[in-house]
Amino acid sequence: MQPTTVDVPTPDGTADAYLVRPDADGPFPGVLLFMDAFGLRPRLAEMAATIAARGHVVLVPNLFHRSGPARPVDMSALADDGRRAELFDRLGPMMAALTPDAVARDTAAYLDFLAAQPGVAPGPAAITGYCMGGTNALRAIEAHPDRVAAVAAFHAGRVVTDAPDSPHRGVGAITGELYFGHADQDPSMTAEQIAVLEQALDAAGVTYRSEVYPGAPHGYTQADTPMYDARATDRHWAALFDLLDRTFRG
């Protein structure tokens, strides 16, 4: 299952993306994979292929499409404090451009494109997101509760903030199921913030599971970064496929 590169029309321009489908006729449920801040690259294509192999058509959009097609990121910069700071100085404005309204518009376009692909089963899709992609996946299901049946968010950061539009404040709109695989000792999602999120989910009556992965750093699923944790990643796959199986196969 080799990913193909496709162009997805959105209200704010064209988003380049990976599309991966199973080696069979289908129909198969659709899954969106929301990237981390480091963008489209071989690791995300590999992860999409792993999901597709379980019987899903997977679309991995470039969430930073407003800044143009995906550009390679020098991942070695993550191990150097100075270069890491420079990298995030460049990525920061692109992340800030993903406002709740922008995510809602983009998600509608991604869902439309995915639903129109041959071999995609009718009905709601699911989303799995990583780091900032997990946070934006939560915004996506809040904006489109009738079109997104489930969201899995792994090492998602800044889900709980003091801002009026903090993602945790919109969970009352959700009708599907959520899964959170939190990184241990994550400064972008502390134990106190996790508790606030869970309180909001409980108050809204949302079906969810929220788990902390002991010893796992922020970014633990990304094998091309220094944060990779193989054991936590294996646990993430088990949790993700459990969620997708419940969502699409009962």
Active site residues: 131, 186, 218
Using alpha carbons, select from 192, 174, 193, 69 the residue that is nearest to residue 124: 174
Q: How far is CA 93 from CA 55, 64, 89, 132, in A?
A: 36, 10, 8, 13
H or E element: which one contains 243? helix 230-249
Of 59, 37, 38, the C-alpha closest to 47 is 59
Cis peptide before 164, with omega less than 30 degrees from 0?
A: no
Measured in degrees and rounded to the nearest 5, phi and psi for residue 73 equal: -110, 135
Structure tokens at 70: 């995906």
Question: Which residue from 165, 123, 162 is spatially nearest to 142, judged by alpha carbons?
Answer: 165
Cα 24 to Cα 4: distance, rounded to the nearest angstrom = 16
Q: How far is residue 57's CA from residue 48's CA, in Å, rounded to a whole number?
A: 9
